[in-house]
Structure 1
Amino acid sequence: MQNIFAQIFALIAAAVVLVWVFKRIGLPAILAYLATGLLAGSHGIGWMTNSEEIHLIAELGIVFLLFSLGLEFSLPRLMAMRNIVFGLGTLQVLVTTGIGMMVLKLIGYNTLTAFTIAALMALSSTAVVVKVLKESGTLNIRRGQLAIGVLLFQDIAVVPLLIALPLLANSGGKDVAGAILFAFAKGAFVCIFLLAVGKWLLPKIFNEVASARSDELFVLTTILVALCAGMMTYAFGLSMALGAFLAGMMLGESHYRHQLEAEIRPFRDILMGLFFVTVGMELNLNYLADVWGWVVVSLIGLLVCKVIILAAAAQTMGERKRDSIASGLMLWQMGEFGFVLVALASKHHMFDAGTASFLIALGVLSMAATPYIIDKLDFILDTLNVSGGHDEGEQPQNNDLKSLSNHVVIVGFGRVGQTIARFLKPEAIPYVAVDFNPTLVQEAKAAGETVYFGHAGQKAILKSAGIEKARLVIISFVEYEKSLEIIDTIKRVAPEVNILVRTRDDTHVEQLKLVGVTEVVPEELEASLMLVSHVLFMSGVPMKRILRRVSKERQNRYAFLHGFFAGDTDDLRMEQQDRLEFLHAIALPENAFAVNKTIKELGLLQRKVEISALRRNGTEISMPDESTEILPHDVVLLKGKPRRVERAEQFLLDGLP
């Protein structure tokens, strides 16, 4: 147990250091994970001896990745993409496999080995491509949609391959067609069942979970749903990732989509990192040094062949040349399922250990180079003089939030949030609301409001609301601690955005200003201003004068409204008593220390207490200046925090410091 703990500790420590180093020098985190695996594996330093357990856990990363990918799609959207998935995807896999078989047979491989290698070469890496596209924000542009559609078909094609290869190895080709048809029948049954569960059962389950208002329960349910869907497809001999994708796709139609993605993201990213570590463990540098020339030639050949095949197929189906070549450059690498097929083929002695090591090296290096190629995609296309503007045809298909800019984000869509929205709408100011009340979100969305379910303290939820392009964020509830958490997240995602916060009173105004809030609206003081406005108007004061007074108070940060007389029934917490200012009247006798001294001589401002008024012989002197002399029997009105007022009273009466 201690040995396993030490190995895992060393693995995590190495990953943390390398990810930090790679990020500091501008390299993608995927390469850091691959380097970690290279160090930890048997071909590196070799401290990981329990790699089987690590591989098993790492496979869950693909499950969560496909679940989050499914959230990006709805069934109508998938049907709308059927030409890409089942048209372009089928064409790419079949043509790549066919051409690959011919080339490999010319080299000298037999038909079965050539088919196996060509089939796994035809597959691309969902893990790498989807992760990079998500990070770069290009998942929903046309080239990204082409890549995702082909990847989905490739993931589906893995199922018959996993069934067919052992049958081909053991039966010499007999009854293979029947086995594949049976596999497709099982797949169709599982897909229909999962789609039905996702359509009718999962929304009700998440309605109940969300109503409980428990973050832990929501996270646990999300993980459970993804794993259950994966386990079901696995039980039928299909890919776990396929089940997770179907579950995510069904939930992608619900208003919990953004919250689900936010909850699953930490687990997905950590486990995907672990997956790339396991990939790095398979790379044998000694073998690579011996055959590096052939590996480079093979990488170039793989890149050129897959780009030409996919670009030609996409253009045949009417896609733009620039998008076609771009999607080919995205999908040129070997995929993670290729490693699974290599292991399966090796187990059934379909090729030797040298070929397996060569394919693993080819897969690792192609996956490692892919983030660079995708990052430099436009530069490569411009260098190749591929026609087509950068923006032409590249607008997101899902324009609900992608096209929003200079909008208002309303955090909390209760009564106050809805009132704000009603005033924004007639002014044609776009807005997006986020709320954690499932019933409220459901009702609002049914009425056509742009409201999303989720906790605004999570980066993913704020990014879904387009906060980086927003003009203003309004926190419409009064809970101070909850507001601080959300403000901290906002500042990390969009540090320049303006933030307006509603509070119950002005207790925390200074603290909120210090953390970057643009404007604070204390509702009790604003209610006082509104009430005073009505009182003055009904008393005959001209409206122009009322508005001027109210505006002046707001500009002065409600200074005239600060300080009040406390009663013995005021229910104030200790921290409120320490922060709020009170008014306290003191009648000074003839022998009081302050008598015959000026306000300046008393130095009360140094004690952070001020005399807001004097009452003398029935006449009130409002805001007396520093030269005013205190006389016997004056009533002094002190304003300040309770403890300071108490000490100031003792000072005025007895002269005690």
Structure 2
Amino acid sequence: MTVFIPLERNIIFRRNFMHAELVILQEIAIIFGLSAAALFICAKLKIPTIIGFLVAGMAAGPHGFGLVRDTESLELLAEIGVVLLLFTIGVEFSIKSIIRIKKAIFFGGGIQVAVTAAIVTGIAYASGANWEMAVFIGFLIAISSTAIVLKLMQARGEMESAHGQTALAFAIFQDIIVIPMMLSVPLLAGEYLEIDQQSIPLAIGIGVAVIVFMFVAARWGVPALLHQVVRTRDKELFLLTVVMICFVVALITSSLGLSLALGAFVAGLIISESEYSHHALGNILPFRDVFLSFFFVSIGMLFNIATVLENPLFVIGATIAVLVGKALIAGLASFSLGRSFHTSVIAGLGVSQVGEFSFILAVLGLNAGVITSDIYQIFLAISIFTMGATPFLLNAAPNLARRITARFPSLASDDEAKQTTDALKDHIIIVGYGVNGRNLATAAKDGGIPYTVLEMNPDTVRDEREKGIPIAFGDATQPMVLEDAGIKRARALVVVISDASATRRITEAARSLCRTVHIVVRTRFVTEVEPLLQLGADEVVPEEFETSVEIFTRVLHFYHVPERDISEVTGRIRDGHYSMLRAPSEKKNAMLAGVFSTIDTATIRLDADCHVIGQSIRGLDLRKKYGATLLAIRRDENTIINPPPDTALESDDTLVFIGEPGSLASVSDFLLQSQDV
């Protein structure tokens, strides 16, 4: 049966659909415009960018100018941003790192959540709330913002620090514990759940299944898949594959009852175990930053300034109490793990805000009737204020810790060096693993110098990793790949690839990221020397000039020029970035001109019918007769330097002579005569 849609209804439908699309695009454009303006002002005032996003959301939201009404679409984009953030955190970390901090996750994180929730519950109950509401408020305050604290520490390059790992451990435990918190909402609302005997074994089975899946995928599945994708050398295919892995794993874990964000973190951990983690991170970061901006804007849109104006003292006082209380509890939890005082202060202040998962939990509680709309709005105001204060608290945390330890020396740790992980420091980053890269890596290894290699050939990466070489797949033109390789802690960056355009981009990116790293670049083209120096390279080595230097150095040795004079000339050439060879100066090259103006070299190959075959060098007396000196004989695979006088010439010998051009011509004519002459 064929159904005909009237033309008029079809046109109306298309108009409505196009109108909805235009509205969404218009509101996205408004968000981007306000965000750009707010971020520009923040940059001028040196204020953290998160504040700019929150302000943009407040202005665009229903409680501001009402410029954005489709909050559901914005919340979807915000959720994607949180998923991508947790994914990149997982990529930067690794399963081994998680195992290493398991105590911090379950013991430290457990203390932080349990103590915070218990104290807040007690205060809320004492203030007149019923016990269900009090417990729920305790849940809300105990959760911190994974998105904010990890993004700030990631931007500051502190994810590998002791306080970065501690904050991450607390965030991981909170992401796990928020699931049973959500499941408890119906119970707090007075709805009694029927739990059969299969529920607990099923939950345990789900947990085991996730762990087994993560192990198998990280060990065999994902590395094999990415290896085949990378071999196609298709950047778009690689990017789509990485995004697919992120969302597929997130959806799988979500279908098992876990959060999307936790699933994305698991996906990141899986990719972190492959040699392509650097490259994956560099590709996904731009998308993460765009979508994560929607998250911070959506948080700002929830803010109702009227709530603050109605209860200014209470909101401000509660905000300070939450920040101080959570910082103290988290700091004590960190200290109980054996962390230094310095680390505990920074980690405590880092997780002192209220988190994004608390908003999801609050909506569930509001819909279930556990909290009232007034409590919900006050909670939002306190949460947004704590989020806005976090960047400033993290900036002030190191100085605060130092001042406290200066006043109370007993709190200082004797080994503050333990605050950092065993990440590479003062190392060499080698970009490219061809002949030069291999030789440099071998020399660094023999000299005990730490190094890491970035290479774009997947087969090379896989083969060398199996040999124990610290090599990773990554496009060094992407700043995040260089950051992940430790460019800010490296002593030197050596670029030994053949792509001139990529070499320029790598040099520029590296210098913009770190002003102190020593950059050495190899180039095949002379014209690239000056541009590379201007982009920030400290030393540029052009292949063709280095070959020229090596050739004339050997010739000078054969001509018995003193070693000191040779070293002086070659040193002057290299110190001047090969300008002597690129623009010769008669004055600077007077000594060379004097040497080479009257000499030349020649190579002569002896055929089987040459009349000198079988005769000795002494018998021919070529130097006395023709004025040419025999330097070497190339015979089969061997080279005879300064051959003895009794050496007999053989068929297919290649003779190397040095002398005046006329002498060389004469000796060549003599040697190449056939036996019939």
User: Could you state the TM-score of these two structures normalised by the residue count of structure 2?
Assistant: 0.77
Aligned to 1:284: 304
Give the superposition deviation at 1:231. Answer: 1.0
Structure 1 residues 174 and 388 mapped into 2: Cα distance closer, same or farther (>3 Å)? Answer: same
Aligned to 1:479: 499
Instruction: Measure, in 2, the Cα distance between the counterparts of 1:91 and 1:558.
Output: 64
Q: Tell me which of 194, 200, 223 is aligned to 2:243.
A: 223
Q: Tell me which of 200, 205, 214 is aligned to 1:194.
A: 214
Q: 1:600-623, CA deviations, whole angstroms, 9 ceiling, x for partnerless residues?
A: xxxxxxxxxxxxx9xxxxx99xxx
Aligned to 2:117: 97
Q: 1:228-252, CA deviations, whole angstroms, 9 ceiling, x for partnerless residues?
A: 1111111222201111111212222
Q: Tell me which of 347, 361, 365 is aligned to 1:341.
A: 361
| 2:446 aligned with 1:423 | no
Aligned to 2:53: 33
Structural mapping, 1:44-123, within 5 Å: 44-123=64-143
Q: Tell me which of 378, 390, 396 is aligned to 1:370.
A: 390
Aligned to 2:321: 301
Instruction: Measure, in 1, the Cα distance between the counterparts of 2:311 and 2:534.
Output: 60
Structure 1 residues 140 and 176 mapped into 2: Cα distance closer, same or farther (>3 Å)? Answer: farther
Instruction: Measure, in 1, the Cα distance between the counterparts of 2:307 and 2:582.
Output: 77
Q: Tell me which of 254, 261, 272 is aligned to 2:274.
A: 254
SS of 2:526's equivalent in the other structure is coil
Structure 2 unaligned residues grouped into runs of 5+: 1-20, 585-592, 599-677
Contact 2:281–2:480 at 8 Å: present in 1 too?
yes
Structure 1 unaligned residues grouped into runs of 5+: 564-580, 582-612, 614-618, 621-657
Task: Tell me which amino acid in the other structure corresponds to 2:61.
Answer: G
Instruction: Measure, in 1, the Cα distance between the counterparts of 2:24 and 2:256.
Output: 32
Give the superposition deviation at 1:434. Answer: 1.8
Task: Tell me which amino acid in the other structure corresponds to 2:422.
Answer: N
Aligned to 1:400: 423
Instruction: Measure, in 2, the Cα distance between the counterparts of 1:516 and 1:78.
Output: 38
Structure 1 residues 457 and 315 mapped into 2: Cα distance closer, same or farther (>3 Å)? Answer: closer
Task: Tell me which amino acid in the other structure corresponds to 1:71.
Answer: V
Instruction: Measure, in 1, the Cα distance between the counterparts of 2:194 and 2:289.
Output: 42
SS of 2:416's equivalent in the other structure is coil
Structural mapping, 1:138-287, within 5 Å: 138-169=158-189, 171-172=191-192, 175=195, 182-183=202-203, 185-287=205-307
Q: Tell me which of 472, 480, 493 is aligned to 1:460.
A: 480
Q: Which moved more, 1:192-201 or 1:376-385?
A: 376-385
Structural mapping, 1:399-548, within 5 Å: 399-401=422-424, 404-405=425-426, 407-535=427-555, 537-538=557-558, 546-547=566-567
Aligned to 1:360: 380
Instruction: Measure, in 2, the Cα distance between the counterparts of 1:469 and 1:191.
Output: 34
Give the superposition deviation at 1:50. Answer: 0.9
Give the superposition deviation at 1:211. Answer: 2.0
Q: 1:503-558, CA deviations, whole angstroms, 9 ceiling, x for partnerless residues?
A: 22323334334434333322223223333444554566665555555455556765
Task: Tell me which amino acid in the other structure corresponds to 1:393.
Answer: E
SS of 1:502's equivalent in the other structure is strand
Instruction: Measure, in 2, the Cα distance between the counterparts of 1:145 and 1:268.
Output: 21
Structure 1 residues 137 and 477 mapped into 2: Cα distance closer, same or farther (>3 Å)? Answer: closer
Q: Which moved more, 1:140-149 or 1:302-311?
A: 302-311
Give the superposition deviation at 1:358. Answer: 0.9
Q: Which moved more, 1:339-348 or 1:460-469?
A: 460-469
Give the superposition deviation at 1:11. Answer: 0.8
Task: Tell me which amino acid in the other structure corresponds to 1:327.
Answer: A
Contact 1:66–1:241 at 8 Å: present in 2 too?
yes
Instruction: Measure, in 2, the Cα distance between the counterparts of 1:41 and 1:181.
Output: 45
Contact 1:462–1:490 at 8 Å: present in 2 too?
yes
Give the superposition deviation at 1:195. Answer: 3.3
Instruction: Measure, in 2, the Cα distance between the counterparts of 1:214 and 1:285.
Output: 50
Structural mapping, 1:583-622, within 5 Å: none
Instruction: Measure, in 2, the Cα distance between the counterparts of 1:516 and 1:312.
Output: 45
Instruction: Measure, in 2, the Cα distance between the counterparts of 1:557 and 1:308.
Output: 57
Structure 1 residues 107 and 497 mapped into 2: Cα distance closer, same or farther (>3 Å)? Answer: closer
Structure 1 residues 242 and 524 mapped into 2: Cα distance closer, same or farther (>3 Å)? Answer: same
Structure 1 residues 318 and 54 mapped into 2: Cα distance closer, same or farther (>3 Å)? Answer: same
Give the superposition deviation at 1:47. Answer: 0.7
Structural mapping, 1:305-320, within 5 Å: 305-320=325-340
SS of 1:467's equivalent in the other structure is coil
SS of 1:223's equivalent in the other structure is helix
Aligned to 1:134: 154
Identity across matched positions, percent:
31
Contact 2:341–2:412 at 8 Å: present in 1 too?
no
Contact 1:163–1:179 at 8 Å: present in 2 too?
no
Q: Which moved more, 1:17-26 or 1:506-515?
A: 506-515
Instruction: Measure, in 1, the Cα distance between the counterparts of 2:59 and 2:414.
Output: 42
Instruction: Measure, in 2, the Cα distance between the counterparts of 1:98 and 1:176.
Output: 29
Contact 1:342–1:356 at 8 Å: present in 2 too?
yes
Q: 1:36-92, CA deviations, whole angstroms, 9 ceiling, x for partnerless residues?
A: 110110000111111101101111111111112222333233222222111121222
Q: Which moved more, 1:276-285 or 1:533-542?
A: 533-542
Contact 2:278–2:472 at 8 Å: present in 1 too?
yes
Aligned to 1:595: none
Instruction: Measure, in 2, the Cα distance between the counterparts of 1:471 and 1:82.
Output: 32
Task: Tell me which amino acid in the other structure corresponds to 1:335.
Answer: G
Q: Which moved more, 1:429-438 or 1:542-551?
A: 542-551
Aligned to 1:3: 23
Instruction: Measure, in 2, the Cα distance between the counterparts of 1:380 and 1:478.
Output: 49
Instruction: Measure, in 2, the Cα distance between the counterparts of 1:36 and 1:249.
Output: 33
Structure 1 residues 328 and 521 mapped into 2: Cα distance closer, same or farther (>3 Å)? Answer: closer
Instruction: Measure, in 2, the Cα distance between the counterparts of 1:330 and 1:482.
Output: 38
SS of 2:476's equivalent in the other structure is coil
Give the superposition deviation at 1:259. Answer: 2.2
Instruction: Measure, in 1, the Cα distance between the counterparts of 2:436 and 2:82.
Output: 42
Contact 2:86–2:262 at 8 Å: present in 1 too?
yes
Instruction: Measure, in 1, the Cα distance between the counterparts of 2:124 and 2:279.
Output: 47
Task: Tell me which amino acid in the other structure corresponds to 1:35.
Answer: V
Contact 1:187–1:238 at 8 Å: present in 2 too?
no
Instruction: Measure, in 1, the Cα distance between the counterparts of 2:514 and 2:395.
Output: 23
Aligned CA RMSD, in angstroms, stands at 3.0
Q: 1:80-120, CA deviations, whole angstroms, 9 ceiling, x for partnerless residues?
A: 22221111212222222223222222222222222211111
Q: Which moved more, 1:81-90 or 1:441-450?
A: 441-450
Structure 1 residues 177 and 332 mapped into 2: Cα distance closer, same or farther (>3 Å)? Answer: farther
Give the superposition deviation at 1:318. Answer: 4.3
Task: Tell me which amino acid in the other structure corresponds to 1:127.
Answer: A
Give the superposition deviation at 1:166. Answer: 3.2
Number of residue-to-residue matches in the alignment: 566
Contact 2:278–2:484 at 8 Å: present in 1 too?
yes
